[in-house]
Every structure is written in C-alpha cells, then in structure tokens.
Amino acid sequence: MNVAAASSSSAPLGLLAQPTRFLFFTGKGGVGKTSLSTATAIALADAGRRVLLVSTDAASNLDEMLGVPLSNQPVPVPGVPGLSMLNIDPDNAAEAYRQRVLAQLEATATEDERATVHEQLSGACTTEIAAFDEFAALLASEGADADHTFDHVVFDTAPTGHTLRLLSLPKAWTGFLAGNDRGASCLGPHSGLKMQEARFNAALAALSNPALTTVVLVTRPDPRPMQEAARTAVELRALGLANQRLAINGVFRASQPGQDPVADAIERLGREAMGQMPDALAQLPRDEVPLRAFDTVGLPALRALLGGDVVPPATPAAAAGAALQAEPLAALADTLAAKGHGLIMVMGKGGVGKTTIAAALAVGLVQRGHSVHLTTTDPAAHVQSQLDGSLPGLKVGRIDPRAETQAYIDKIMATRGKALDDAGRALLLEDLQSPCTEEVAVFHAFSRVVNEARTAFVVLDTAPTGHSLLLMDATGAYHRQMTQQYQGSAGGAMAKHIITPLMRLQDADMTHVVIVTLPEVTPVSQAAALQEDLRRAHIEPWAWVINKSVAATGTSDPLLQARLVGERKQCERIEQGLAQRTFVLPWLTEPPVGVEALGGLVTADGLLSH
C-alpha cells in the first residue's frame, strides 16, 4: 500500500497500518533511525502488540532515549506495556560465542590448545560474526524469541555501510559454509560456524520473505542521505530484501514564509531534495515526519514524534544558557598546519558532517602549503563527491574493502600459496573467501595509512562510530598479538622496539583525533561515549567541532528558535569539561560542496559565539 503521509503533527507512519513481523530501520547516520524505530516500537506496543526493540549499533543510544540500561537480554520498558528492549552488544556476544566454540573442543584438549583457540577468537572478525549470530537467532526465532513471544521485532540498525554488511552476511556465510567441512577457519574451529549453518539459512529466508520483513529506508530531505538511501535500496533488493518503504524525517516548513532567510533556505533545500528524489526512492511507499521543536528523548517526546501524544512544551529562548566561546574552523586548520605532519582522524556519529569537516581541513592544509592525503574508511564513502574537483597538492584515496580484500588474497596466494600444490592452493583460497578476510584486509590498509603520517599529513574521514570502534578493536588485537609474540627471553629485547599502529594512534605528537558533533543531545552523548572508548585505548581526543550551529545564524523562526534552546544546552555541556578545544561551523544556507566552497570554511576570520 502506497501511503504518503502528510506532514501534519497528527499523521502516523503509513507502515503502522500493516506492519510485518520484522521491521528494519536503516539509513545514513544522523537521519533519525533510532528516533523513528523507537517511536514505531512504542506505537505498536501502545496498540496492544508485543514488541521487541533491538539495537544492532555498537554506538547505540537507546538507553538515553528510553531511560533503560542497555542489556543483551530483553528488558521491559517502563511506561510502555508490551515493549521490551535488547542491545546486541558486540563484546558480550563475542564472549558467549567463544564459550560455545570452546565447549565443543574434545575433553582431551590441553590448556595450551584451549588458550590458542581463545586467542584465535579474540579479534574484530569474531566480534562481528558473534554479533551477527545473535541477530540471526532473532530472525530464526531462536534465543530471545524462541517461542514467538513477540508479535514484532523492530531493528534499530547501525549506519548504512555497516548495516549492508550485516544484512549481506547471511548470504555470505551460507555460501562460505556450503560444502566446507574442514576443521578450521579464520575463526578457529570451523565447527563453531558449521553448528550455526541452519540458523544462517533460516535468517536468510526470513530476510527475503516480504510477508515477514520490511526495510524502512530513513532519510532527511537532503540530497546526500537520499542518494545513499537510493543506493541502499538497490543493494538490499539485490540481496533479496524487496519489501521496502521510505521515511523522510525532519521535513521543515517555515513558520513565517518570506520573513526569515535562514528558515526559507532550509525549507527550499528540503523541497528541492524531495523534488529531485532518485527513482529508486520515488517508487517506494512514503511517509514524511515533520521537524520537531524538541529533542526525541523520553516517552512523551517519542510518542509526540509520530503525533501520538501531546508535544512537550518548548522552553523560552530567554532561558538559554551562557554563550559557548568556540573558534572558527580556520583556527583549527592554522593550528594543525603548524605541526608540519601527522594523522588527523575525523570521527563521530554518522550524519554529523565528518566528511565535510575532513575535506575542509584537508583543503585548508593545502592552502597553507602542505601536501595532504585525504582518505576514508567509511563503506559509504563521499569524500570525492564532497570535493567535486581536484586541487594541486591534495591526494584523495579510499580504503575500499573489496579492493583491499582482493589485494590481500592475491598477496597471500603469492606468498603462502607459492609452495603449495594445486589441492593446497585450492584449500587456501577457499579459506580466504571467508567474510572475515575483509576485516583483516581493511586493517592492513589502515595500518599503511597510519604509517604514512610519519612524514606527511594524512586526513582520515572515518566510518560512523560503531564501525570505527571495530577497526580500533582490530588495531588493539594486532598490538596484543605482536607484543605477546616477541615476549620472553629470546624476543624480549626486540619487543621493546616494536611500534604498532595502535602505538602511533596513542602518540599525541603524531595523531590528532577531531570529534565532530551536532549541537543536539544524541550526537553529543555519542561523541562523549566515543571519547571514553578512545581514552580506554589510551587515545586522547584533541578537539571537538560543533557543526551546523543554528544559533550562529541569527534565525527568528519560532520552531528553529525553540530548537536553539536545546542547542545552547548542549554547547554548555561541551564547554563544561567534554572538549579540550572547541571549534564551530554555523549552519550554512548552501551545502559546502566543491574545493572552493570547502576552502571558504577554513579562511573565515573572527570568533563565532553562541
């Protein structure tokens, strides 16, 4: 049923009329997947359904939205009878997976053999497949939903690139396991995967069944997330997920047309984006959700998001806090340029503008006389389209998982496979077809980029938070492996001279982590959580950038003024201890696409204050 909901506050999502059992919300980071998936789950529960809300995002903030601690077991949500929440925590899933595999070892296995297997299962690859295993169990109606306790399972997924990999894993692993009955793989004992083969097949069948599964592609009225949503629609259809809907979140209409240029520009850009929507989206059933004056935190706000409750009252603008003194992006470029070389890692939640900030800093460093390599680890890479041109002294690259995987396979076949006979080479190649190989290959490419920054500037536009943390996990696992390998009487002296990629990331003279956020509660909370994760790895963030500040525009639109109150609160929060250095970029009436526009972001003078 093609339902194009009006943008009035009383129009619920059309998908609520005939919801399937499994509902996946996916899209570019920052478009509102968590808000819409949570509001949908609440609406279904309020209608008398039994609902399980599941987060597959390593950087989930469901706990903050609902005020319920995250757990890898279903937890009832107070105030919403019938709704439970579950977080697929990668670390907990990985430990449970290790224990299941270890339990299969023969009773005669020695402690050394068990320790070896445990070490084999300690990397990011195991973390990914273990998290997927939990995800697949829900689709196969096992584990938390073995007895069909829930009428609906709503998935709040990680940003697009990571989600595409997650949803492609059933097909990848069923293909890898078919006919492969050897005793080992990159995950240690191969039986640890073989025992899950039936589960993977059931998960694939559920995903491909339009009567069971709906994918909700969430976007903003903005060309870039729409383009990404369109690509996702095509890729998911190729994977067999054809039952799709579109949800356009944050649709804005100026309160006083013609009286506020900022409000008029926001509305115009939104209308233009929706008018030029890619065909892959235009043909889908569609819902529009209006921009709200409030942050979607807490049950009243989440119910109000879909028009199902009274809108929380806005705080008068006069109640806003003190101004945040933050320098412009030009000052950040000046400070970094003075260092002469190094790795600049631009990190943050999806959708906060990491690519824009990374590209602008790269252009700014070139303007200041340096050669720069701008690259990305994001599966949904947008660096080249952001630049929309070239600049002498600027090299643009990408850590492409597919290309890196093939190069890695070719290298292993040319070295380890060189001395093998045809049968041995065939077995080695079969093992390298595992989806885990991609994680190893991407890590090696990342390590090369880190090493390059010893003598030049490298600006790294990272993947959204959850995916980047998995890469950090791989970096840490490699560090532990290398230091353990050279410990002991023979290698102790050598161990002192090893410099791993992790050690370079921990070197404050070489690596500068710039965390990008929007002045909104969820992005700031996730930026703070990312900062703590980095600190646990002994990597200290160097600066924060507040992107798309509406306060700096001087808008008079009532709805934007109401949102500005929340912005000021988050700026105060950042000022009171979160960031060592803070820089700000105002909301712009024209997207900064192209080398010239990006250069303008890092040449402005003066202090921007809130």
Active site residue 240: no
* Cα–Cα separations (whole angstroms), residue 465 to 59, 347, 531, 562: 6, 7, 10, 28
* Cα–Cα separations (whole angstroms), residue 72 to 96, 125, 349, 524: 11, 19, 22, 24
Question: Given 28, 37, 40, 57, which residue is catalytic?
Answer: 57
Question: Given 26, 28, 29, 34, which residue is catalytic?
Answer: 34
Cβ–Cβ under 8 Å, residues 243 and 19: no
- How many angstroms separate the CA atoms of 241 and 258, rounded? 43
Active site residue 30: yes
CA angle 106/92/506 to nearest 5° reads: 110
Question: Given 29, 30, 351, 417, which residue is catalytic?
Answer: 30
Active site residue 32: yes
**DSSP conformation letters of 220-233:** -SSHHHHHHHHHHH
Question: Given 26, 35, 122, 555, which residue is catalytic?
Answer: 35
Active site residue 160: no
Q: Pick the closest to residue 89 from 63, 121, 115, 118 (CA basis).
A: 63
Active site residue 606: no
- How many angstroms separate the CA atoms of 233 and 245, rounded? 9
Q: 343 in the Ramachandran plot: left (φ > 0), alpha (ψ -120 to 50) or beta?
A: beta
Q: 74 in the Ramachandran plot: left (φ > 0), alpha (ψ -120 to 50) or beta?
A: beta
Cβ–Cβ under 8 Å, residues 603 and 361: no
**DSSP conformation letters of 308-355:** SSPPPPPPPGGG--PPPEEEEHHHHHHHHHTT-SEEEEEE-STTS-HH
User: Is 118 exposed, middle or buried, given 0-12, 13-18 or 19+ CB atoms closer than 10 A?
Assistant: middle
Question: Given 40, 214, 522, 525, which residue is catalytic?
Answer: 522
**Which tokens sit at 472?**
């950090």
Question: Given 26, 27, 29, 33, which residue is catalytic?
Answer: 33
**DSSP conformation letters of 237-281:** HHTT---EEEEEEEE---SSTTT-HHHHHHHHHHHHHHHT--HHH
Please measure the distance between the N-terminal and C-terminal CA atoms of the chain and give it in whole angstroms.
46
3-state secondary structure of 53: strand
Q: At 427, which amino acid appears?
A: L
Question: Given 14, 29, 32, 350, which residue is catalytic?
Answer: 32
Pairing mode of beta strands 188-189, 184-185: antiparallel
Sheet of 582-586, strands arranged across:
394-396, 372-376, 457-461, 342-347, 511-517, 543-549, 582-586, 325-328, 608-609
Instruction: Supply the residues annotated as catalytic.
Output: 30, 32-35, 57, 522
